[in-house]
Structures are given as structure tokens and as C-alpha cells.
Structure 1
Amino acid sequence: MERTHPANIFVCECITQALFRLMKRKPYHEITVTDIVREAGVSRNSFYRNYQSIQEIITQFLEQKTSEWWNEFITCPDRHPHVISEMFCHFLNMKEEIDILYHAGLSYLLMEHIIRCGKLSQTGEIKNTYQTAFMSGGLCGIVNEWIVQGMKESPEKMEQIFSKQ
């Protein structure tokens, strides 16, 4: 079954929500596939049809949320011209999940995601330049510090800070 099939999308959402609920209650490294499928109310087969590991649930969640945000951003006729502040808005919209990841010691998954996204061009091609690596690394540092400090500064303020780097 493809991940675009409505039933499969629903199963993936159930699994993702179950993992985040479990991560609120117990340490990530203690969560098992059995815990997740019980919490989600799905079968082990459903899990393994969609994921190879528990970590993959998180990476796919980040990819999906970013893809949804980006598609909305580029198609909005009156979008904000500053992609950096819009990106910080995107992270604010995922604050609960990001807080859970940081509490679980999984901040590196968000940083890896940012770097992967930085290497993709608008056409989906991989860019492999030093400038891209530099910008992605700087963005990771600023995003990480912003999250650690409690996401207090506005997205517009964060864009100003990033632009000065």
C-alpha cells in the first residue's frame, strides 16, 4: 500500500501521534515497536510496512511537516517575502514536538533535517556547495540556540539575527 493511500496515511498519523504521546511519558530509548503499535491501535505489520525503525517515524514527520509548510509557502500569493522568518514560524508551529525531541535528547534529528533541507534546491536537486553547508550549519546553530532559550524571540527578530551572521 502506498503512503498516499488514505488508509495508509491514517495509519502513519496514528503511529506518529502514538510515538509523541509515549515520548511524553517515558524515555525514548525505552520505547519499543510493541509500545507504539499498542498505543496507536495498529498492527506490527502496519508499522513495518511504513517504517524500518522508530527513528524513521520522526524523520518522516519532520519531512512531512516541512514539505507541507514549503508547499503552502511557495503557493501563497501574498506570502511573506522573508523565508527565514517564515521558517521560524514553521518551527513555532511544531513547538510541542520540538520540545519533546529536545527533552528526549534527539535534537540532532532536527539539525540533520535542517541540513538536508538546505541541500535541496527548489527543483529537488541536491546542492553540494560549501556556501550551502556554511549557511545550513549557521542556521542549525541559531535555530538550536533559539529552541534552547525557549523560542522567545519573534520569527522576525530571528531573521534579523540570522541575516547579520
Structure 2
Amino acid sequence: MESIYPESNPTERNKFTRMCIAEALIELMDTHNIESITVTDIIKRAGVSRRTYYNYFKSKAEVLSKYLQEIVAEYIKETRTRTDIGGFNDYAHICHCFQFFQKYHTFVSTLMKANLYSILINALNQYMEVYVLPDSSYSRYELFYYAGALSNTYVKWIEGGMKESPEEIAKVVYLFIHR
């Protein structure tokens, strides 16, 4: 299947440059409102030219969206190699999902602080539609419902300080969907 994340397989140098730009923006967002961050601020922090920035991105939202696409592409690659986690709504798979994305909680917190929840939900909806729907007995809207539930649970878990383990959160989700 062709990737919905074609940018996730660039040359290593291109990927490194794009990640530097994204990480520079994320770092700046830690102390500045996204609206007040300029392209000049980003390129200075990333150590790239303005032309390089615009070769890859049209906006700050696109920088963040592409960064999340890289994360999702990594998740897809990893889950494809795992035979021990079952289908997308099996406990082991849900648990793996929360374990994997736990390491990106700071990035997701940054998105939430900037009121950019749409970047997260759009990426998850796209994942469901392209990777889950073709092999699923669920409708698109059932998968979008599930995507919303997962993303909201993940965000609220982060906001709550991730006091529960990924296994505990996965159990809650699993038991709810298997009632």
C-alpha cells in the first residue's frame, strides 16, 4: 500500500533538515505563542535558510503536521513488524499504541497549548481511513468515532500527568469498546 505519508521516506539529509525545522518551532513554542513566532525565529534556531524552510513548508501548522506525520509513519513501520499485538482494537495493540505515543507527550502538550488539536485528530483520522478501514468491518464513521475517543483519552491522560500506566489506560479503552 502506498504511504499516506510520502514525505516520511525522504533522503536522510532532507529528513534531518525538516526535523531540525520542526524541533526548532516546537522549542520556540515552549516559551512563545505560535502567532508571535516568525519564520526568521524558526530558521535562526534551526540553522537553515529561509529558502530551505519554504522548500519544505508553507506554514507553521504544516511544520507541526508533517512532524506528526513522521511520528505516525514510525508507528506504522513499527506495528507492521509486530505479530504479537493483534488488530487495532485488541488490548495488546491499544496498549502498544499508548506505550509508543507516551514518548511524544511533550509534543502533544505543545499542540494542545497552541489550540492545534486539529493536527492530532486529522492525523489519526487519516491513519484510520487509509490503514484500518480497508481491512476492517467498521464503517468510516465508526473508525472516526474511535479515533476521537482514542485521541481525547490520550490528551486527557497527558493533561492528568500520565499517572496511570499505558496498560491501565489501554484496559479502560479495551473494556469500553468490548462491552
Range of TM-score over shorter length? 0.7 to 0.9
Q: In structure 2, what is the Cα distance between the partners aligned to 1:87 and 1:30?
A: 34
TM-score by length of 1: 0.85
**Aligned pair partner of 2:126 in 108, 116, 126:** 116
Q: 1:123 to 1:131 in 2, by over 3 A?
A: closer
Structure 2 portions without partners, runs of 5+ = 1-6, 87-91
Q: 1:92 corresponds to which residue?
A: 102
Paired residues in the alignment total: 162
CA contact under 8 A between 1:15 and 1:47: conserved in structure 2? yes
Q: 1:135 corresponds to which residue?
A: 146
Q: 1:33 corresponds to which residue?
A: 39
Q: 1:39 to 1:145 in 2, by over 3 A?
A: same
**Aligned pair partner of 1:154 in 165, 170, 175:** 165
The amino acid that maps onto 2:147 is S
Q: Secondary structure at the match of 2:30?
A: helix
CA contact under 8 A between 2:108 and 2:155: conserved in structure 1? no
Structure 1 portions without partners, runs of 5+ = none
The amino acid that maps onto 1:90 is F
Identity over the aligned pairs, expressed in percent?
A: 28
TM-score by length of 2: 0.79
Q: CA offset at residue 144 of structure 1?
A: 2.5
Q: 1:132 to 1:80 in 2, by over 3 A?
A: closer
CA contact under 8 A between 2:24 and 2:42: conserved in structure 1? yes
Q: Deviations over 1:124-165 (max 9, x none)?
A: 89x962221222222223222222212221111111111222
Q: Which has the higher contact order (CA 8 A, sep 6+)?
A: 2
Which deviates further from its counterpart, 143-152 or 57-66?
143-152
Q: In structure 1, what is the Cα distance between the partners aligned to 2:111 and 2:123?
A: 13
Q: Secondary structure at the match of 1:66?
A: helix
Q: 1:35 to 1:96 in 2, by over 3 A?
A: same
Q: In structure 1, what is the Cα distance between the partners aligned to 2:131 and 2:15?
A: 26
C-alpha RMSD of the superposition: 2.3
